[in-house]
């Protein structure tokens, strides 16, 4: 009975370890693909028009700064975020989550 329980425990450990290794590889490939896609977008936009690329980056930065301000400011009592502030806050949260994902999983990407 003890041998069967030990064998089941070892089998569960092996399955869990292989699952974690596969998940790590999949997340690494996704991070490298996302990083390559972002680099391709930056390259193509710069080759199309450097001036529009800088202007678009500036506008995007202002929009995300507005979202960060809307996310971290103290809310006024009785009012909630509306309109562009809510959209900017959601976009800022998505960009921050993407940056954290890339920081964790693309840092050891061999494509850099």
pLDDT at 74: 73
Structural domain contains residue 111: no
Sort 66 into a burial class: Cβ within 10 Å, 0-12 / 13-18 / 19+. middle
First to last CA, the chain: 52
Structural domain contains residue 97: yes
Q: What is the pTM of this model?
A: 0.71
pLDDT at 82: 74
Spans in the chain with pLDDT lower than 50: none
Number of compact structural domains in the chain: 1
| H/E element, 107 | none
Tell me the Ramachandran region of residue 82: left when phi exceeds 0, alpha when psi lies from -120 to 50, beta otherwise: beta
pLDDT at 11: 81
pLDDT at 23: 87
pLDDT at 52: 93
Find the domain containing 26 and state its range.
2-105
pLDDT at 10: 79
pLDDT at 24: 85
């Amino acid at each position: 009975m003890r041998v069967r329980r030990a064998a089941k425990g070892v089998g569960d450990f092996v399955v869990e370890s292989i699952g974690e290794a596969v998940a790590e590889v999949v997340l690494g490939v996704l991070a490298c693909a996302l990083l390559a896609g972002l680099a391709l977008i930056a390259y193509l936009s710069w080759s199309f028009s450097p001036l529009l690329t800088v202007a678009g980056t500036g506008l995007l930065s202002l929009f995300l700064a507005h979202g960060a301000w809307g996310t971290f400011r103290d809310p006024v009592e009785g009012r909630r975020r509306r309109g562009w502030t809510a959209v900017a806050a959601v976009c800022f949260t998505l960009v921050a989550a993407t940056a954290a994902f890339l920081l964790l999983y693309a840092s050891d990407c061999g494509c850099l």
